[in-house]
Amino acid sequence: MMYPHFFGKSMKIDITADFSKALKTLEPGHVRRATSRAINRTLASARKQSAPVLHARVKTALTVGKVRQAMRLLKSKAGYLRGSIVIDGKPIPLIQFAARAVAEGISFNSGAGRKVIKGAFIGKMPGSNKKQVWKRTGRAKVIPTKGRYAGKKFKREPINRLFGPSLPAEFLSNDVQKVIAQEIRKVWPAQFKREYEYFLSKYR
């Protein structure tokens, strides 16, 4: 049997299956390989089914595919029969929220209508062609060490990259947890049976 447990920003799957019947017909190594494959397929299915629910809760312009990509799978191995769905805690770059330049700054899709960040702008990442949303934040003293202005004090406005909301908080919501747990309980028995029969036909 598989039980979902939630720790921080990840969902762990513990295995407490009864392999006594399988061990009567297959070698322990093959049973563990079958189990590991079944865990990974079950996790992939749980991620696929829960991504739209998480997407709906976040209410952003991100596609379901982008949300699903943020839900990483830490796969099981034959020597370690546990898999995880882990969602990154990093905020998502604001550029991904349908950001575009307007007269006042940058307009983006907040999920509850478009909002404007005054003074923000779109520019490329240093050393890259990828565009991001930036905003100048106050002023900082800069003292060049080289060139004609070396040793002279200047005031420069630092710029920061802007981000949208992060997904982990909503990942731990009851709605998302419920879908994941239901999918695991539904898919796991069939997946293990399928993998067990595959190894049985191949190695018996």
**Statement to judge: residues 173 and 76 lie in one domain:** yes
Alpha helices, H only, 59-126? 64-70
Half-sphere exposure of 129 (CA within 13 A, CB side): 0
**Statement to judge: residues 172 and 155 lie in one domain:** no
**Statement to judge: residues 153 and 184 lie in one domain:** no
Do 125 and 132 contact (CB within 8 A), yes or no? yes
**Statement to judge: residues 150 and 188 lie in one domain:** no
Instruction: Name the region of 163 (left: φ>0; alpha: ψ -120 to 50; beta: rest).
Output: beta
Percentage of residues of the chain with pLDDT beyond 90: 20
Domain count, the chain: 2
**Statement to judge: residues 65 and 31 lie in one domain:** yes
Domain that holds residue 195: 2-88+167-203
Lowest-pLDDT range of 59-68, 74-83, 118-127, 174-183: 59-68
pLDDT value for 15: 45
| Structure confidence by residue, pLDDT tens digits, 69-100 | 888 888 989 888 888 888 876 777 889 888 99
pLDDT value for 147: 65
